[in-house]
Amino acid sequence: MHKNSRSLWEFANPKRFVSIANKLIPWLTICTVLSMSVGIFWGVFFTPNDYRQGAAVKIIYIHVPSAFLAINIYIMMLIASVIWLIRRHHVSLLAAKAAAPIGLTMTLVAILTGAIWGKPIWGTYWAWDPRMTSFAILLMFYIGYISIWSAMEYNEKVGDLSALLCIIGSIFALLSRYAVIFWNQGLHQGASMSLDKEENISNVFYLPLLVCLLGFVSLFFTLLLIRTRTEIRIKRTTSLLRMN
Amino acid sequence: MNPLLYILSYEIKASTAGRSLFLSTSFFIIVVLTANISMNQFGIRADKNSVSILWIALAMSALLSINMIFQNDYDDGTLDWFMLSPISLETIVILKAVAHWVTTCLPMMLLTPIVCVSMGINFNSSLWILLVMMIGTPAISFISTIGSALTLGERANHLLLPIFILPTFLPILVFGIKISMLVTNSVYDSMAFLIMLAISLFCIAITPFITAIIIKVHYT
């Protein structure tokens, strides 16, 4: 490759990644704090109550972004794992490893906020509805992925195994999801902010929700960069210790 | 003798010579019986939930013997010879899965009609349940090879295996249990049968390749 040609793979260099992460983390933190506080304050205090759900509707500002992240973090882990298997960039593998606990937390937050909302509105904390079941399935595959990392020491072999487990997990999570949907159409309402639908939630709720979503996404990136940086440093330290 | 047949018969002999055949079938019977007895004590009608108990007992007994699929061969070096042999690793995985099915799932399936009668399901429905199991269990055996390959050489981590293998049985379990329940209520949904067959065949088609890749990871 030509020396001056720039490509995306430059960022796979751990040293470069850490220096960029160091520069980005303060800005991302500011962005997270600003957009999350603005979004949640706007949503909770300056929007009307829903005419049927009352004030309970306001949990949407945490529920929807965390559910959005829970699914997309798994997809991000899948992509990072595939990149690791093909191009063998350690940063990619470490990013997948770092993202898993964040994804697990987001899944739990989505399930918990859904349960809190569900009690007054549906009259139950939990039902085996397809959407909720798919979150339970997602939770299991996150736990499986994290457990393989927690059980074994870091090396390339475990990296390969975890990446393969992530791919297998996504295949079977999808299969299980559609197996559940086949038998049960469910209780949960459709997507709140899909791009291709005629009917979404009204603009009054939509705009603060968008700000909250931005806040959660930048929260994810902040945490991801910090955690990946930590993982890179742990890896360096352990290999230094092994040398001596 | 055809080498493939030889390997298959060797595998079946190896698993029947050990205690795994006896252990998994007795585990199956004991799980089903304890669950039914404890449910009957509380006046819960057993026949409504017994089908799911049957399937979960089946999946868990299959889990019991997963460790043994590759571990012994990995320890004594047989797997190294399989890697070097002209027969592809994928074929070996298929043979292993078939041997696992014959030695763990088949005995449990033969017991199913008897167990079903003890749970108050009539004999005719239990034959239908047997057919559903015939479709579902090969996929369970094939998926089990993934788990066995993933935890190779991790003697201390037997607890790890169920954590990521049990959720992968879900598609088969969901369909198997639902169709079996329909069948016990005399409803025959051929569409659902076909979709379950498709899922089962899909799992059988992809797992040998995945398992072979995982085994190769252990040898690089």
Range with the poorest average pLDDT among A131-135, A153-157, B194-198:
A153-157
Under an 8 A CB cutoff, do A176 and B174 touch? yes
Give burial (CB, 10 Å; 0-12/13-18/19+) of A155.
exposed
State the pLDDT at residue B180.
Answer: 86
Count the alpha carbons within 13 Å of B4 in the hemisphere toward its beta carbon.
Answer: 11
Checking if the pLDDT of B44 tops 60, the result is: no
Residue of B nearest to A179 (CA): B171
The single-letter code of the amino acid at A170 is S
Is the pLDDT reported for residue A188 higher than 70? no
How many Å lie between the alpha carbon of B7 and the closest alpha carbon of chain A?
27
A51 vs B187, residue with greater confidence: B187
pLDDT digits (tens, 9 = 90+) for B128-137: 889 999 999 9
Is A157 in contact with B220 (Cβ distance < 8 A)? yes
Rounded to whole angstroms, the Cα distance separating A230 from B61 reads 41
- Yes or no: say if B143 and B207 are a contact pair by the CB < 8 Å rule: yes
Position A198 scores a pLDDT of 53
> Comparing C-alpha atoms, which of B196, B204, B203 is closest to residue B133?
B196
Q: Give the closest-approach CA distance of A178 to chain B in angstroms.
A: 8
Tell me which long-range contacts B194-200 makes (C-beta under 8 A, separation of at least 24).
B195/A182, B196/B132, B196/B135, B196/B136, B196/B172, B197/B135, B199/A175, B199/A179, B199/B139, B199/B171, B199/B172, B199/B175, B200/B135, B200/B136, B200/B138, B200/B139, B200/B172
Average pLDDT (A140-166) is: 89
Q: How confident is the model at residue B15 (pLDDT cuts 50, 70, 90)?
A: confident
Query: In this predicted complex, what is the ipTM?
Result: 0.87
State chain A's mean pLDDT as an integer: 86
Say whether A147 and B163 touch across the interface (CB within 8 A): yes
Residues of A in contact with B154 (CB under 8 A): 151-152
pLDDT 10s digits, B153-174: 776 567 788 888 899 999 999 8
pLDDT digits (tens, 9 = 90+) for A84-112: 999 888 899 999 999 999 999 999 999 99
Arithmetic mean of pLDDT, B11-32: 82
Report the pLDDT value the prediction gives residue A120, as an integer from 0 to 100.
Answer: 85
* The total number of residues written for chain B in this structure: 220
pLDDT tens per residue across span A223-242: 999 999 999 999 899 889 98
> In this complex, do A147 and B150 lie within 8 Å of one another by their Cβ atoms?
no
Q: Where is pLDDT greater, at B18 or B118? A: B118
Distances (CA, A) of B69 to A83, B93, B133, B147, B149: 30, 9, 21, 9, 8
**Interface probe, candidates B151, B155, B164, chain A, greatest A C-beta count within 10 A:** B164
Percent of chain B residues topping a pLDDT of 90: 31
Residue B198: its pLDDT value, please?
93
The one-letter amino acid at B125: S
pLDDT exceeds cutoff 60 at A186:
no
Contacts of B212 (CB under 8 A, 6+ apart): B88, B89, B90, B93
Q: What is the mean pLDDT of residues A122-144?
A: 88
Closest residue on chain A to B165 (Cα): A144
Smallest Cα distance from A43 to chain B, Å: 37
Nearest CA to B4 among B65, B121, B85, B79? B85
Q: Judged by CB atoms within 8 Å, which residues 119-138 of B form the interface with A?
A: none
Rounded distance between C-alpha atoms, residue B219 and residue B21, angstroms: 29
pLDDT computed for residue A1 by the predictor: 47
pLDDT for residue A202 is more than 90: no
Asked if residue A193 has pLDDT above 80, the reply is: no
- What confidence score (pLDDT) does residue A71 get? 93
Q: What is the pLDDT of residues A25-63, one digit of tens each?
A: 999 999 999 999 999 888 888 877 776 777 777 888 899
Write out chain A residues lying below 8 Å of B208, CB-based.
none
Give me the pLDDT at residue A187, please: 58
Shortest Cα–Cα distance, A94 to chain B (Å): 18
Residues with Cβ < 8 Å from B25, sequence gap 6 or more? B61, B104, B107, B108, B111
Of residues B163, B178, B199, nearest to A175 (C-beta): B199
pLDDT in the model for residue A104? 96
Of the ranges A69-78, A119-128, B172-181, the best mean pLDDT one: A69-78
- Nearest to residue A11, comparing CAs of A232, A189, A179, A205? A232
Cα–Cα–Cα angle for B148, B154, B160, rounded to 5 degrees = 65
Domain ranges of chain A: 15-186+203-243
Q: How far is B94 from chain A (nearest CA, A)?
A: 18
Chain A contact for B163 (CB, 8 A cutoff): yes
The Cα B82–Cα B120 span in angstroms is 47
* pLDDT given for residue B11 in this prediction: 84
Cβ neighbours of residue B4 closer than 8 Å, sequence gap 6 or more: B87, B91, B95
Counting one residue from chain A and one from chain B, the pairs whose CB atoms sit within 8 A come to 68
Q: Which pLDDT score, from 0 to 100, does residue A123 have?
A: 83
Whether residues B163 and A180 touch (CB distance < 8 A) is answered with: no
**Would you call A147 and B160 a contact, using CB atoms and an 8 Å cutoff?**
yes
Contacts of A176 in chain B (CB under 8 A): 167, 170-171, 174
Identify the pLDDT of residue B151. 85
Question: B167–A140: do the CB atoms touch at under 8 Å?
Answer: yes
